[in-house]
Structure formats: C-alpha cells, structure tokens
Chains A and B, each alone.
Chain A
Amino acid sequence: MGSQSFSDALGVDYGALAPLLIVLGGACVSVLLEAVLPRVRRRSVQLVFSLAVVVVALAAVIIRATSGAGDVVVLAGSLSVDAPGLFLWGTLLALAVPSVLMLADRSVEPGGVFVADPEALAEAQERVGAGSLRSTSSGLPSGTGTDTHGVVGRRGGAGPEPTTPPEMHTEIFPFVLFALGGMLAFSAANDLLTMFVALEVLSLPLYLLCGLARRRRLLSQEAAVKYFLLGAFASAFFLYGVALLYGYAGSVRLADIAASAAGPLRSDALLFAGLALLVVGLMFKASVGPFHTWTPDVYQGAPTPVTAFMAACTKVAAFGAILRVFTVAFGTTALEWRGVLWAVAIASMVIGTVLGITQTDLKRMVAYSSVAHAGFILIGCLAITPAGLSGTLFYLLAYGFTTIAILGLVSLVRSGDGEAGHLSGYAGLAQRSPVVAAALSFCLLALAGVPLTSGFTAKFAVFSAGLADGMAPLVIVGLVCSAIAAFFYLRVIVLMYFSDPAPDGPTVSLPGPMTTVAITLGVAVTLLLGVLPTAALEWAGAGTFLG
C-alpha cells in the first residue's frame, strides 16, 4: 500500500487540516524549544513562536474559509471541516491571540504570573529595595480568599545577584498550544471517540496551567486539583455515554447515531441514557449549571490570564461540540429530548444569576455570570435551526472577547502585590483610573447586553432564534435573568463611579504593551460587534454542519 493510497483511504486533505496540524505541530516544536534554548532567551522566543503559530493557523482558517473550498469530512470521517467549524476555529484562534499576550505579560506583576520562583524574586527585590514582595498574607482577613501567597522572605539567605530578569514557567506556551489544538479538534470532531480524546487534550494543559500561579501556590493548586478531579468525573460520564451510544448505534460517528435513530426500532433507553451522560460531560466543560460547581473556585484560583483563556476558549470549544452533537447526531430526535434540556438552560440561567448577585469577588462574579451566559447560549443551541446556529456562534465570539477584556482589566487592579478581587476594592476606581474604569464599565455593560455593545447583538440573535423556534418560555426566563443580572454588573459600575475610593484601596498598575493590546483588542471587538455586527453575523450563518 503506497503512501498515496494510504492517505487517500484516510481522506487526508491538508488544506482543510492545516490549522489543526499547524497548532499541534507548533506545540511539539515548542516543547523542543523548551529543551534546546538557553533559559534567558526562552520567554521571548517562545512568545514570538507561539504567536506566529496562532496567527499562521488563523490565516490558514481564513484562506480556507474564503477559498470557497467546500465542506469536507477528513481522516476517515473523524474530523469535519465545515463552515460552522471554520467559524469556531477562527474564533478560537482569534481569542488565542490576546490570551497568549496576557499569559506572557510580565509588566503587571513583577516577573509575570508564572514566575518560576517567587521566593528568589522576592529576595532579589528586597535586596534591591525596589518594593517588597513579602507576603502579609497571614495578616490578611482570611475571608478575602484571594492572592494569599505564602512567601515569607528569607532573611540573610544568600543568592545570586539579579542580573537576569526573573524566570518564568515558559512551559505555559506549549501547554496553551496543546490546549488550543485540543479545542480545535474538539469543536470539529465528527465522532465521539475523537471528541473524547480531544476533550482530554484540551483539558489536561488547562489543569496544569491552573496550578502554576506560584505566588499563591496553594490556592492555585487547589483550583487545579478541583478542576482535575471534577473534570475526570465529568469525563467518566462522557465516556459512559459514548459506550451506551456505541451499543445503540454500533458506531461512534455522529451521523451514524442519527441514522440509527431514524432507522428501525432500537432501544431508545440506550440512546437517551447515552445522550444524558454525554451531555453531562459537555455541559461540565461549558460550565452550564448545575454542572458548573467548579467554575467559581477555578476562575478565582487560577492565574487570571489562564482564567481568561479558559473562560473564552473553553466555552467556544465546548459549545461548538454541543452544537455539533445536538445538530448532527440528535437533530432528528430533538423533539423528544429538547424539553429536558430546557430545564437545564433555565437552571443554568437562574443559578448563575441568583448566585451572582451575592458575590463579593469580581472574578467569582464573572464566573457566575459565565454560568448564566452558558444558559443563554444553550438557548441558541437548543434551537436547531440555522438562525440558532449562527446566533450561538456569534454569541461565542462576542462573549469570548468581552470576557478576555474584563479579566485583563481585573488583573490591573491590584492591592499590595496581588489582585484586588474584592468588590470593595473597586470603589471610586473612576477617580484613580478613568480609562480602566470606563473600559471595565463598557465590558460589563456588554455582558449585561446593553445596545451598541456586542452583548446586545448576541443576546438578540440568540433570543430571536429561540423565539422563532417556539421556545418563548425559555426566552422569557432568559430576559428576566438578563434583567436581574444587569443589577450586579451595574452595581460594579455604580461602585466605580459613585463611591469614594478607600484611602488604602488598591492601585491600578500600568499595563505593559502586551496586556494593553489584549485589552484593547477585547474592548474594540466588543464595540465593533455591537456597532457593525452584520459581517460577523453573516459569516456565522454561512453554512451548516456536515455530518
């Protein structure tokens, strides 16, 4: 069997596969760079390389999307490169650019979030006298819960003079690329087995990234362990569901499941039990309530750039997969199972909204808001129509950029040497830094869905699709929840503009170029999609899934 016929039998279409291959290949090269390069040059080389990989992959997606090449199923039916899939890929890669920039930033926090050895850094700074990194964590009121790093400076400990900038864990770059590769494969997977492996490929680097905030090691690692344990728990559900569906259809291909469901009588118990378990695994990743419980703790504990990457990209990938599964594999049986998932969407919106009201930490608030938004997005997924598909895709794009901008801004507001997560730290922020306060207000308004922001357009698209598909009760719940949720976004804005800043309140650090670019990108896209959404809406509605 020659190589030609082998790749023919597989259906290898390098043009279609290019983005995935570029990202995964880039990840492998990045691991090699880690091994080969001297320590001092790793960060800059890795940053440039990772960005280049993401940008080239994005270019490949754009070329593919504009070339007019039709939708194809490649690699023996395990991957489907179709119009919505390309939109998801484009969204993921576009969101990866600001994420990578934020991950690499070292200006906001000395040495970056991923500093390898905060103790050595603290020592160095103490000797230089350029501000103490010594922890006062033991004196902090324990309830604030954030940024309690336990570095107690060593007095008299001799160390090398800080001739080089502090080291950081440059391994984060291959991790991000692997996670991104997993996300690309996840959102385009055409059979459940590939989907499962891709799920693990995207999850494992995220678990690792969550635990890498060495400054507040225990909180960060606790978040990582929680995410890992619950993620493994959810994966088990997913795998069990795959097994049941295999038993039902004799295949794990999405299209085969749909064909079996339309075929002669089989045991529907297997189909729906399998669907339920599959949905648990998918909803977990998308942090849809009641499978959201990890979200607040992990969002809060993880390093903020990782939270941003996770909140934006994981949601895109997870909902991409949900859309594909619902449409391709279960589209024909939608009438039977949709009512149950209505309840899930309602639960998610209500949980996110109600619990969001009582949060006092901004990152936790964003986490609960993401739960509520997951419910809104689910409305679009449940409307198995072209309008629902395009609305959901647009929502994911809009939500991703807004979230990245918010978390980037949150990382700027710092007290002592950690982020001032607590809401009270935002009192009077407008007086300390009008620009940050204005940008944050704008993004929060976008989350609330105020007109002329992307949030409004996205909600409008999703809700009108839901309404058109006969889900009026669900849409009404969605509207009520958006109205309630607007309360806690506005509360932050009111706090920033109408309260007096506390004298010992947090400071706003000046972001370096990378974080600035990331935040600006997020805010600009939020504005652009709010003001001129038509082009993106059209691209989102360019086609349908290919089974």
Chain B
Amino acid sequence: MTTTIGEAIGFWILGPVALAGGLGMVFSRNAVHSALWLVLTMLSLGVIYMLQAAPFLGFTQIIVYTGAIMMLFVFVLMMVGRDASDSVVEVLRGQRVAAAVLGIGLAGLMIGAVAQSVGVPLAAGAPSGSNVGGLGLLVFQRYLLAFELTSALIITGAVGAMVYTFAGRAKSKAITQKERVAERLRGPLEKFGSRSGPGVFATADSVATPALLPDGSVAPESLSAIIEATARERLGHATELSRPGDEHDTAAHSHHAERGEIQGSQT
C-alpha cells in the first residue's frame, strides 16, 4: 500500500481544511455558522474518501450528509431562529482552563500513540471486490446484525421525537384570548404578570423579578432601569430563594441557570 504524490498533496491540503472546519464549528458563536463549518469538514472528508479510491463512499458522504442532513439542520436552525444563541458566560471557575488542559493532554496522548505506530504495518485492508459490491457484502453479511439494529435506533428516535413534541392536549378545549386575560387577572399572583414555566422553582417571571445566574447571583443586565425600586425590593427574596443550602448538591442549580437565561432573553 503506497501513497502516490497526488494523494499526499490532496491529503495535506484537505486534512487541515477538515480540521479547521471542525474547530470552526466548535468555536463559532452562531449556530448557522457552526453548521456551515461542519459542511466544510464533511466536504473535505468526502474528497479524501474519493482520493483513497472509494468514490462511492465519497459521493455518499457529500450527497447524504452535506446535501441532505446538513441542509435539514440549517432549515431547523432557521426555523428556530438564528438569534437563539447559548449563554456563553462561564460561571464555573477554572472550567475552561481545565477543559482545555485536559483536552490538549488527551489529544497529545492520542497523537503520541498513533505516531508511535506510524511505520508499523497496519492490518487494515480494503474490502474485496468492487467498491459498491464490497460495501454491500459488509453491510448485508458481515455486519448484518449491526445494520438491522440501526433500524431499531431509527424507530426509537422517531417515536421518541413524537412523544416529546406532541403536547397531548388535543382533547382539551383551546383557551380563548378573553379567558386567558381573565385568568391572568385572577391568577395565582393576583396581579398582572406571567406565570413561570412548569417545574421550576421560580414563583414569577415578571420583569420585576431579576434573573439569576447559575451560581445564584443576580444578573445585572436583567435589572430594569424603570422599575429599579421594585427590583431592589424583591432582590433579597429572590436571591435567598434561589440559593440552595450547601448541603444540597442536587440538580437544582441548573434550573436557575435555565430560568436566568429565559429571563435574560425576555428582559
């Protein structure tokens, strides 16, 4: 198994491009940009496959992944709205540094391990027969079980998506605008304002209640200048409510994170 010069040139151009695509996908703030970086990586990989005398696999990569799946991603992102970006404030001290150190360390180890084996003859070989025929044999004979099991995965995914997205309130009557207003007026808070989402510890998500950061402190950008007094008044209460005791290392923390983010985007 020798490498031709053309193959080497192709690899040394496409390899860095694919790597850059991966890094760009991880580090870009905008979801659509991320998706496009990923497209770049996949295109590069597809071309590398073709260079390695696997044209069928290369074209499949481009047509299925880049063409179909990634476009689906981009469509979904557009529908959701490309402004819905994640909060990037890191509240865990040292998290990023440690993650970077550990990640680079692991990468270094793996590079070292693989580099060690460069030159040692590898046992991997191409499938016998033609490109498509070889793949077919693998899929329908050698890895038939894995292939069939994948269908279980897809069924589960489809059913799961339906379970999670279907609201299950089809039978109950839709609430009219008038009823909704009346309900809010007589709502549990006995005043104007919207209720918090189900399952959170918050009692209200009105603008008068400041948002909390995941560590329990008040997010300064959620304080409105107009109703500053109210905010200050409720500040102590809200902070106390959301700061669980040290002995409770439960999953509660991240609710506040969620709540903080929701409110942050509202205000």
Query: Is B191 an interface residue when CB atoms closer than 8 A count as contact?
Result: no
Closest B residue to A172 by CB, please name it: B163
Complex-state Cα separation, A216 to B172, whole angstroms: 21
A106–chain B nearest beta-carbon distance, Å:
16
B98–chain A nearest beta-carbon distance, Å:
14
Chain B residue numbers with a CB within 8 Å of A194 are 143, 145-146, 149
Are B153 and A10 interface neighbours, CB within 8 A?
Answer: no
B168–chain A nearest beta-carbon distance, Å:
4
Query: Is B236 an interface residue when CB atoms closer than 8 A count as contact?
Result: no
Task: With a 10 A CB-CB cut-off, give which of B169, B186, B201 has the most chain A CB atoms.
Answer: B201
B221–chain A nearest beta-carbon distance, Å:
23
Given contacts A157-B183, A361-B250, contact A270 B160 (CB under 8 A): no
Instruction: Pick out which of these stretches binds chain A: B36-44, B118-126, B225-233.
Output: B118-126
Query: Is B188 an interface residue when CB atoms closer than 8 A count as contact?
Result: yes
Given contacts A120-B172, A142-B242, A269-B116, contact A300 B125 (CB under 8 A): no
Are A222 and B255 interface neighbours, CB within 8 A?
Answer: yes
Instruction: Pick out which of these stretches binds chain B: A177-185, A384-392, A447-455, A535-543.
Output: A177-185
Instruction: Pick out which of these stretches binds chain A: B70-78, B84-92, B106-114.
Output: B106-114
Given contacts A78-B143, A149-B198, A246-B124, contact A142 B168 (CB under 8 A): no
Chain B residue numbers with a CB within 8 Å of A28 are 155
Instruction: Pick out which of these stretches binds chain B: A248-256, A284-292, A525-533.
Output: A248-256
Given contacts A34-B159, A197-B146, A250-B123, contact A142 B244 (CB under 8 A): yes
Are A143 and B244 interface neighbours, CB within 8 A?
Answer: yes
Q: Select B146's contact among A78, A212, A216, A219, beta carbons within 8 Å.
A: A78
Query: Is B4 an interface residue when CB atoms closer than 8 A count as contact?
Result: no
Chain B residue numbers with a CB within 8 Å of A181 are 149, 152
Query: Is A204 an interface residue when CB atoms closer than 8 A count as contact?
Result: yes
Query: Is B190 an interface residue when CB atoms closer than 8 A count as contact?
Result: no
Query: Is A201 an interface residue when CB atoms closer than 8 A count as contact?
Result: yes
Complex-state Cα separation, A157 to B169, whole angstroms: 13
Query: Is B93 an interface residue when CB atoms closer than 8 A count as contact?
Result: no
Query: Is B144 an interface residue when CB atoms closer than 8 A count as contact?
Result: yes
Complex-state Cα separation, A180 to B263, whole angstroms: 41
Chain B residue numbers with a CB within 8 Å of A270 are 113-114, 116-117
A100–chain B nearest beta-carbon distance, Å:
17
Query: Is A431 an interface residue when CB atoms closer than 8 A count as contact?
Result: no
A220–chain B nearest beta-carbon distance, Å:
8
Q: Mark B147-162, 1 if CB is under 8 A from A, else 0.
A: 0011011011101101
Q: Mark A303-327, 1 if CB is under 8 A from B, else 0.
A: 0000000000000000000000000
Are A219 and B251 interface neighbours, CB within 8 A?
Answer: yes
Given contacts A250-B123, A300-B250, contact A204 B157 (CB under 8 A): yes
Closest B residue to A260 by CB, please name it: B123
Given contacts A169-B163, A246-B124, A249-B123, contact A142 B252 (CB under 8 A): yes
Chain B residue numbers with a CB within 8 Å of A216 are 199
A154–chain B nearest beta-carbon distance, Å:
7
Complex-state Cα separation, A143 to B251, whole angstroms: 9
Query: Is A156 an interface residue when CB atoms closer than 8 A count as contact?
Result: yes
Chain B residue numbers with a CB within 8 Å of A262 are none
Are B156 and A150 interface neighbours, CB within 8 A?
Answer: no
Given contacts A159-B173, A193-B143, contact A178 B156 (CB under 8 A): yes
Q: Mark A178-204, 1 if CB is under 8 A from B, else 0.
A: 100110010000010110111011001
Complex-state Cα separation, A266 to B117, whole angstroms: 8
Given contacts A150-B199, A247-B124, A297-B251, contact A9 B141 (CB under 8 A): yes
Q: Mark A135-173, 1 if CB is under 8 A from B, else 0.
A: 001101011111011111011111110000001010100
Query: Is A117 an interface residue when CB atoms closer than 8 A count as contact?
Result: yes
Are A150 and B196 interface neighbours, CB within 8 A?
Answer: yes
Within A103-157, which residues are at the interface with B (CB < 8 Å)?
A: 116-117, 119-120, 137-138, 140, 142-146, 148-152, 154-157
B13–chain A nearest beta-carbon distance, Å:
23
Given contacts A154-B183, A178-B155, A197-B153, contact A75 B145 (CB under 8 A): yes
Given contacts A120-B172, A155-B183, contact A185 B124 (CB under 8 A): no
Are B199 and A148 interface neighbours, CB within 8 A?
Answer: yes
Query: Is B241 an interface residue when CB atoms closer than 8 A count as contact?
Result: yes
Q: Mark B166-207, 1 if CB is under 8 A from A, else 0.
A: 001101110100010011001010000001111111110000
Query: Is A505 an interface residue when CB atoms closer than 8 A count as contact?
Result: no
A18–chain B nearest beta-carbon distance, Å:
14
Query: Is B129 an interface residue when CB atoms closer than 8 A count as contact?
Result: no
Interface residues in A, total, Cβ within 8 A: 88
Query: Is A218 an interface residue when CB atoms closer than 8 A count as contact?
Result: yes
Complex-state Cα separation, A144 to B248, whole angstroms: 7
Task: With a 10 A CB-CB cut-off, give which of B173, B179, B183, B199 has the most chain A CB atoms.
Answer: B199
Query: Is A52 an interface residue when CB atoms closer than 8 A count as contact?
Result: no
Q: Mark A223-266, 1 if CB is under 8 A from B, else 0.
A: 10010000000000000100010111111000000001000011
Are A117 and B251 interface neighbours, CB within 8 A?
Answer: no
Are A145 and B248 interface neighbours, CB within 8 A?
Answer: yes
Are B251 and A159 interface neighbours, CB within 8 A?
Answer: no
Query: Is B131 an interface residue when CB atoms closer than 8 A count as contact?
Result: no
Are A152 and B195 interface neighbours, CB within 8 A?
Answer: yes
Closest A residue to B148 by CB, please name it: A24
Are B252 and A248 interface neighbours, CB within 8 A?
Answer: no
Q: Select A24's contact among B144, B152, B247, B255, beta carbons within 8 Å.
A: B152
Within A22-77, which residues are at the interface with B (CB < 8 Å)?
A: 24, 27-28, 31, 34, 75-77
Are B149 and A201 interface neighbours, CB within 8 A?
Answer: yes
Are A117 and B168 interface neighbours, CB within 8 A?
Answer: yes
Closest B residue to A160 by CB, please name it: B171
Are A160 and B244 interface neighbours, CB within 8 A?
Answer: no
Query: Is B142 an interface residue when CB atoms closer than 8 A count as contact?
Result: yes
Closest A residue to B255 by CB, please name it: A218
Are B199 and A217 interface neighbours, CB within 8 A?
Answer: yes
Q: Select B120's contact among A78, A204, A211, A267, beta carbons within 8 Å.
A: A267
In the A-B complex, list the 4 residue pairs whose CB atoms are closest, starting with the nearest: A250-B123, A267-B117, A145-B250, A150-B198
Beyond contacts A78-B144, A116-B168, A250-B122: 16 other A-B pairs, Cβ-Cβ < 8 A, are A24-B149, A27-B152, A120-B171, A140-B201, A142-B242, A145-B250, A154-B183, A158-B173, A160-B172, A198-B146, A205-B156, A222-B254, A240-B110, A267-B120, A269-B112, A270-B116
Q: Which residues of B contact A (CB under 8 A)?
A: 109-110, 112-114, 116-117, 120-125, 141-146, 149-150, 152-153, 155-157, 159-160, 162-164, 168-169, 171-173, 175, 179, 182-183, 186, 188, 195-203, 241-242, 244-245, 247-248, 250-252, 254-255, 258
Q: Which residues of A contact B (CB under 8 A)?
A: 9-10, 24, 27-28, 31, 34, 75-79, 116-117, 119-120, 137-138, 140, 142-146, 148-152, 154-160, 167, 169, 171, 174-175, 178, 181-182, 185, 191, 193-194, 196-198, 200-201, 204-205, 207-208, 211-212, 216-219, 222-223, 226, 240, 244, 246-251, 260, 265-267, 269-270, 272-273, 297, 300-301, 360-361, 364
Could you list 16 examples of A-B contacts with CB < 8 Å?
A: A9-B141, A24-B149, A79-B145, A116-B168, A119-B169, A143-B248, A143-B250, A154-B183, A156-B186, A160-B172, A194-B143, A222-B251, A226-B251, A248-B123, A270-B116, A297-B250
